[in-house]
Amino acid sequence: MKKWIVLLLGFTLLLSSCARFRKQNTIPTSEPLAPATVEESTAEETQVEHPDFASMSFVEKNNLYMQLLSEKISTGANTSLAESEYQKSIEASLAGDSTEADRALEEAILNLLNL
């Protein structure tokens, strides 16, 4: 009888470990980190000083966008292209695509800087 109890305890631990291991493997991993630098650049964009996006957090980039947008709107500039890019950024964020969201946000900032 004691032998059976020992065997059952071993079996229980094995089952528990297997089940936990399987669940941990199903956890969705976070999105890969965004590229450190923005490779795309055009001749027009090189005319302005680019922010160091790689060293900025999402909140910092987001705040920069809103600050620039406010400034450009107050001067009467046409910000529709930047706002369209920003909308793409929001849609990508809602889809869980951080890379595309950050790319579009950075593009929106560059659009505003070039106005």
Partner 1 sequence: MKKKTFPLLLVIATLVALIGAGIFAPQTAYAQSGGGNGTLKASGDGLAGIRGNGDITISGNGMLWIRDQAGDAVINVSGNGGNRHEGENGWVRYSGFDGQATVSGSQITVALSGYGINLEATGTGKFIMRGSGSYTVEKDGIIVLDGAWTEEAEVFSIP
Which residues sit at the interface with partner 1, rule CB under 8 A? 1, 4-5, 8-9, 11-12, 15-16, 19-20, 23-24, 26-28, 30-31, 33-34, 57-59, 62-63, 66, 69-70, 73, 83-84, 87, 90, 92-98, 101
17 or 41: CB nearest partner 1? 17
Q: Least CB distance from residue 43 to partner 1, whole Å?
A: 27
> How far apart, in whole angstroms, are the C-alpha atoms of residue 115 and residue 112?
5
Q: Letter for the amino acid at 53?
A: F
21 or 49: CB nearest partner 1? 21
Q: Least CB distance from residue 100 to partner 1, whole Å?
A: 9
Q: Least CB distance from residue 32 to partner 1, whole Å?
A: 9
Buried b (16+ CB within 10 A) or exposed e, 64-100: bbeebbeebeeeeeebeebbebbebbeebbeeeebeb
Contact 74/27 with Cβ under 8 angstroms?
Answer: no
Residue 3 corresponds to which tokens in the numbers above?
A: 């032998």
Q: At what angle do helices 98-113 and 58-74 cross, to 10 degrees?
A: 30
108 or 110: CB nearest partner 1? 108
Q: Least CB distance from residue 47 to partner 1, whole Å?
A: 26
